Structure 1
Amino acid sequence: MSNYVQDLEQAKYELNTENQRGSLADAGKIATLKSRIEELTKKIEEEEQAAAHEAIVSTVDDMVIGETPLRELFDISNPDMAEKAYRVVSTAWKQSLLEAAENAKKELDAERAEKETALGLLEEVGAEKEDIQVSLKKVMQEKYDLANQLEDAEAKRDAAADELEEAKKEIKRLNAQVDELRKEIAVGAANAPKVIDIGESMKEWVAAKAAAEAAKPAIYDVHAVDFKQSRFTAKLAETDEAIEFGYLEKNKYREVTAEEAEVFRAEYEAKRAQENVSVDAGEGMELTPPVFQGEIEDDPESATDGLDQENTNVEMAGATLEERVAALEKAVFGEAKQVA
C-alpha cells in the first residue's frame, strides 16, 4: 500500500508541475496523469477498506472484557446454545462496526469529492487567470500602438505647423516687397494715375505656379515604408529609378499614374535618342551671337525681360526716375492701362 501512496504523491506532483506551464502544458500528459491518479486512489481506498474490515473482525474476535474473553461470557451449560449466542452477538457487533466503517468511508468519499471539485474550480480559475493575462497583454500592446500613432500624429502636426509658419513668413516678406514696389511706383507715377491689370498678374502667377509644379520630378508607385508614414519609396517616372524620401520631402515631387509614367519614359527615351543623334551629327556647336544694346532697344520684350541683365542695368542707371519706375512697374505687373 505504501507503494501506491508514493506513486499517487508523485503523480500529483507531476500534474501540478505540468499545470504550472500554462499554455505550454501537454494536454495528453495531463490526461494520463489524471487517469493514473484516479486509478491509484481507487486501489488505496480498496486496500484501506479491506484492512478496516479485517481489523474490525480481529478486534471482535480478540476482545477481552474485564480480563475475560468475550467468548467465555457465553460459557453456559449448553455449549451449543452458548456458541449460537456468541455468533449472534458477534455478528450483530461486527455488522454494526462495518456499517460505521462504511459510513466513515462515505464521509471520506464525500470529502474527497469536495476536494476534487475544489481542485477543478482552482484549475478553472487558473485558466481564467491565464485568459485575463493574455487579454491584458493585448490591451497593453494596443495602448503601445496608440501611443506610437499619437506620437506620429503630433510629429506631423508640428511639421505642418512649421511649414505654415514658414509660409506665413514668406507671405509677409513678399507683401513687404510689394509694398516697397507700390511706394516706388506711387512716387514716380503721382501725376500719371494708372489702372493695374490684376488679371494679367494673376495669369502670370498661375502660369508660374503651373511651371513650378511641372518642373518637379514625376514619381509613381508611391508606398509608405512604415505604418507611421514618415518614409516613402517611389519610382522616377522618366528613368524608373527607385528612390526613398521623408514625409517633409514629399512636396518636392508630383505623383502620376503608372500609365502617365509610361509617357514620361517614352519622352525621356526620345529626348535621349535625339541628343545622341545631334551629337553624332556635330550639331549643338553653334555659338549664340552677342546681343548689342541697339538690338535690345529695338525689341520691346527684350527691354522688359532684361531688367535683370547687366547691360540693361547699365542703361537704366542713366535713366530718369520716372523711366526707372515705369520699367520696374512693367516688369512686375505687366502692361498697365492708361486712365482716360
Structure 2
Amino acid sequence: MKSNRLLMMLLVSLIIIGVVILINVISFSNIEEIVINQLKENQLTETGFAAKQIEDHILQVRDELVTLSKFPDIETLDINKCSGDMTIVHESIEGKISNILRVDKDGTVIECSSPIYSNYVGINIKNKEYFKAPKETNEPFIDNSIRQGFNRQIIVSAPLFETTEYTPYPNFLGQFKGVLLSIVEVNTLYDLYIHPIADPEKAFFLLINLKTEETTLKSNNIDEYSAIKNDVLSEKNLNIITDFNGFGETIITSSDIILGSETWRLIVLTPLKNVGKEISSVQNRHLFILGFVILVIIGGFIFLITVYQSREEVQSKLDKAQVTLEKLGIN
C-alpha cells in the first residue's frame, strides 16, 4: 500500500512537470513571433511620434514667424548684428525659432539674427520660391528643396505688411514690406527626433517628399528613395515585415508629415538580424524561468514525499507501540 501511494505521487508529479514543460515548449515556439510583433508595434508607435514631432516643430516655426510679422515694431528688432541673441524674440514667442532673416520688399536679405547666416546678408532672393510664394499669396510658405553643400535646409517664410498696431491677423491690406525667413537645419531635426528611434547600428531611415519622391534625409548605408521605392510599398503608414533589398526580413514602418500642401514620409527600417540579441535575450529569460519553475515543482514534490514518508514512519511506530501496549494489557 505504501509503495502504491508513493508511486501515485511520483506519477502525478511527473504528469504535472510534463504539462508545464509542454506548455512552455509551445510558448517557446511562438515567443520569437510574439517578440517580433511587439518590436514592430513599438517601432510603428515611435515612428509616428517622431513624425508628429517633426511636423509640429516646422509648423510651430511657421506660426511663430506669422506671430512676429504682426508686430508693428518688427522692423526695430535688433537683429542686424547677426549676434545670435534671440532673447528679444523669445520674450514674445515660445521659441522653436533659432534664427531669423529679414528680407526687404525687393528681395534683398538685410538682417539676420545668427552669425551662422551672416553670409546671406546682401543676397537677393526675389526669384526664390520662398520669397515669391508669400509675396504672391500673402501666406506663409515652407520650402524643403534647399541644399546647402551636403546638408539639407528647410526655409520657412512669412510675408511682412505695413502695420501701425498689433493685429490678430496679418495686415493683408497694408503695403508689402518683405518677408521673414527662418532656416531649419534638417540635421537638427534628425538629432532631435529621428536619432532616438533609429539606432544607426540597428536601423535605417528615409525622410522623403511624397510628391517629388525626393529624399530629404537618409541613413548613410541605404540608397536614395528613388532607387528602392519599388521595395517600399506606397500605402500610408507602413507596418510590415518583408524581405527588403538584400537586408533579409525587415520591419518597415512609416508615418506621414503634413506640411501645408506638401506631404513628407518618415520611413524606418529594422532588419530582424540586427535585433537578434533582443529576441535571444527574451528566449533565454523564458528558458531560465522554465528551469526555475521545474526546479520549484521538483523541490515541492520531494518535500511532499519526504513529509509523507516521515508521517508513514511515525504512523508505523505508533502502530507498533499500540500492539505492544495491547500485549501488555495496558490498552
Q: Same fold (TM over 0.5)?
A: no
Higher RCO (C-alpha 8 Å, min separation 6) = 2
- Return the TM-score normalized by structure 2: 0.29
Structure 1 or 2: larger strand share? 2
Structure 1 or 2: larger helix share? 1
